[in-house]
Amino acid sequence: MPKFEKLHNPSHGEVIKYQNGKPIIPNNPIVPFIRGDGTGVDIWPATQLVIDASIQKSYGDEKKINWFKVYAGDEACDLYGTYNYLPNDTIEAIKHFGVAIKGPLTTPVGGGIRSLNVALRQIFDLYSCVRPCKYYSGTPSPHKSPQDLDIIVYRENTEDIYMGIEWEAEDENCINLINYLNNKLIPNSTKIKNRLLPKGAGIGIKPVSKFGSQRHIKKAIEHAKRLSGDKRHVTLVHKGNIMKFTEGAFRDWGYELAVNEYRNDCVTERESWILDNIENNNEISVENNAKLIEPGFNKLNPSNRNSICEEIKNVIMKISDSHGNNKWKKLVLVDDRIADSIFQQIQTRPQEYSILATLNLNGDYLSDAAAAIVGGLGMAPGANIGDKAAIFEATHGTAPKHAGLNKINPGSVILSGVMMLEYFGWNEAANLITKGLSRSIEQKKVTYDLARLMEPIVKPLSCSEFAESIINNF
Ligand code: NAP
């Protein structure tokens, strides 16, 4: 047990431990929770009520979460002193107990204080951010067929421009860096030597590593393996046509993982197309082939018939036994899409997608865009997962103007609780909550944000009434 400065060790419950990156969940785990700033005061009590009720109804006294209050954000400053937004006690508690859940936290603007959410992800190396976007029947949506969208965004959480390695324009280090790049590195790089950085530019660094990309894409593939039918599908999202050695490399490393480490579990889109055509005795022509998106790991020139034949020979020799005879149809399909096109595709052909594995910034944009289709931020949960810890959290902020009014939609944190229960393998309790939530929305028993979009407009429930309605609908 860690020695806390201001917290008292919980008297009941057991610690969640990790073995090979997987949690071992006792029947009575201790789970630290951060109430959150702003609307956290309303959302957290509602969430705890719903989670506890679902466990009690599903397992009686056999299972129970022992909640352990820890502090971050404004509440932490009140207890630990000014500017102590993320006390050591909180870090030690999450490290020791392994799983935590949190409400939204304020990011103080200016004063050199980092985002607490980003800090927590980096401290615990929570390298995959998981954001499911699924429609609950009856939720008002700007989309015509929101029920067709059922995706999970796997957003890389530790690299990319989110590392915050950047220099302000005119900062001395920035000027030195620009001079060094313009005078030395760029002229020495044959492919880019005619391009020079504009004087007076700010500079941001975008690191993307093979290790970081593959450990994250692995989590996405492992998740897809647990799904069935067409949902066994991972799409690598990237802007590799422009940023070849960061975004393009992310795609290439993803395919490399799929055809090496996950060879028996995965088929690429290109392989599936070749196998499909062979099994249907179709002629595989250059014209057909040009329709495919070219995976980066196989630099095939579509106009070269010989190299195409070579690739087909390779597929037949290497995987026709293991993947042929329609066996590939049961495997995880791995394909890739350019980031801007996937924004269109989740609107126009949402049913074709399942798990979208993305880099950090693309995933941030994409998950909010997908959340908008299914009913907005109030219904969008999130989880940050690493090999030794996991933190479940709302994707929205503190919405300060609604704080303390018992008005806000607690759906996002409640659904994050559902993700936590699924992470525990407590699926009965998780299903009970989604059932209660769906029914409540169908009965138009919702908070203001959804009520105002319903036609005709309905009288909203308060935050706590919405939680009670979910429980009554178990
Ligand atoms: P915000 O807190 O997400 O609120 C923006 C608007 O979104 C609200 O005014 C409200 O719209 C709607 N909204 C947010 N949460 C909702 C919920 N649970 N139910 C229904 N509607 C909800 O964004 P912000 O005002 O830009 O940020 C405020 C603070 O939160 C900042 O300090 C920011 O850094 C922080 N933040 C934290 C997190 C996090 O902890 N993960 C994430 C994002 C931002 P209406 O008023 O129109 O109803």
* Higher-confidence position of 118 and 214: 214
Distance CA(286)–CA(300), nearest Å, equals 12
Lowest mean pLDDT among 56-70, 186-200, 281-295, 298-312: 281-295
* Higher-confidence position of 357 and 304: 357
Which atom of ligand 1 approaches the CA of 395 most closely?
Answer: 41
Identify any residues that bridge with 156 across adjacent strands, giving them in sequence order.
128
pLDDT-derived band of residue 457, with 50, 70 and 90 as boundaries? confident
Ligand 1 and 76: CB distance under 6 A: no
Ligand 1 and 412: CB distance under 6 A: yes
Distance CA(212)–CA(206), nearest Å, equals 13
Ligand 1 and 94: CB distance under 6 A: no
- The pLDDT of residue 288 is 52
User: Token pair for residue 307?
Assistant: 């190299």
Query: Do residues 225 and 333 touch, judged by C-beta distance below 8 A?
Result: no
* Residue 377 Cα to ligand 1 middle (Å): 8
The sign one gets for the Cα dihedral 291, 297, 299, 305 is: negative
In three-state form (DSSP H/G/I as H, E/B as E, the rest C), the secondary structure along 92-114 is: HHHHHHCEEEECCCCCCCCCCCC
Ligand 1 and 371: CB distance under 6 A: no
Residue 350 has pLDDT above 80, yes or no: yes
Query: Do residues 194 and 219 touch, judged by C-beta distance below 8 A?
Result: no
With CA atoms as reference, report the closest residue to 416 among 440, 398, 433.
433
Question: pLDDT (tens digit, 9 = 90+) per residue, 221-269?
Answer: 999 999 999 999 999 999 999 999 999 999 999 999 999 999 999 999 9
Catalytic residue among 239, 252, 445, 449: 239
* Mean pLDDT, the chain, integer: 91
Catalytic residue among 364, 407, 423, 449: 364
- The pLDDT of residue 283 is 62
Active site residue 340: yes
Question: pLDDT (tens digit, 9 = 90+) per residue, 72-116?
Answer: 999 999 999 988 999 999 999 999 999 999 999 987 765 556 788
Q: CB-based contacts of 38: which residues, under 8 Å, 6+ apart?
A: 104, 106, 397, 398, 399, 400, 402, 403
Ligand 1 and 107: CB distance under 6 A: yes
- The pLDDT of residue 312 is 78
Residue 309 has pLDDT above 80, yes or no: no
Three-state DSSP class for residue 464: helix
Residue 306 has pLDDT above 60, yes or no: no
C-alpha dist (Å) from residue 328 to 233, 268, 309, 322: 12, 9, 20, 8
Query: Do residues 392 and 101 touch, judged by C-beta distance below 8 A?
Result: yes
Average pLDDT for residues 151-165, to the nearest whole number?
Answer: 93
- The pLDDT of residue 345 is 96
- The pLDDT of residue 278 is 80
Ligand 1 and 104: CB distance under 6 A: yes
Average pLDDT for residues 371-397, to the nearest whole number?
Answer: 90
- The pLDDT of residue 291 is 44
Ligand 1 and 396: CB distance under 6 A: yes
Question: pLDDT (tens digit, 9 = 90+) per residue, 19-63?
Answer: 988 999 999 999 999 999 999 999 999 999 999 999 999 999 999
Q: Which of 33, 43, 391, 398 to mutate to test the pocket of ligand 1 (most atoms within 8 A of CB)?
A: 398
* Residue 399 Cα to ligand 1 middle (Å): 4
Strand order in the sheet with 381-385: 66-70, 30-34, 99-102, 390-394, 381-385, 128-134, 150-156, 355-358, 233-238, 332-338, 266-268
* Higher-confidence position of 235 and 318: 235
Label the pairing between strands 150-156 and 99-102. Answer: unpaired
Q: Which of 102, 396, 462 to mutate to test the pocket of ligand 1 (most atoms within 8 A of CB)?
A: 396
* Residue 132 Cα to ligand 1 middle (Å): 18
Ligand 1 atom 37: residue of nearest CA: 397
Three-state DSSP class for residue 203: strand
Active site residue 364: yes
Average pLDDT for residues 413-434, to the nearest whole number?
Answer: 97
Question: pLDDT (tens digit, 9 = 90+) per residue, 182-204?
Answer: 999 999 998 887 889 999 999 99
Ligand 1 atom 15: residue of nearest CA: 396
Catalytic residue among 78, 171, 230, 340: 340
Question: pLDDT (tens digit, 9 = 90+) per residue, 126-156?
Answer: 999 999 999 998 888 888 899 999 999 999 9
- The pLDDT of residue 113 is 63
* Residue 444 Cα to ligand 1 middle (Å): 23
Ligand 1 and 409: CB distance under 6 A: yes
Average pLDDT for residues 176-187, to the nearest whole number?
Answer: 95
* Higher-confidence position of 101 and 455: 101
* Residue 81 Cα to ligand 1 middle (Å): 25
Which atom of ligand 1 approaches the CA of 413 most closely?
Answer: 18
* Residue 161 Cα to ligand 1 middle (Å): 23
- The pLDDT of residue 297 is 34
pLDDT-derived band of residue 300, with 50, 70 and 90 as boundaries? very low
Residue 289 has pLDDT above 80, yes or no: no
- The pLDDT of residue 443 is 95
Ligand 1 and 384: CB distance under 6 A: no
Query: Do residues 232 and 332 touch, judged by C-beta distance below 8 A?
Result: yes
Distance CA(263)–CA(323), nearest Å, equals 10
- The pLDDT of residue 307 is 59
pLDDT-derived band of residue 305, with 50, 70 and 90 as boundaries? low
Which atom of ligand 1 approaches the CA of 106 most closely?
Answer: 32
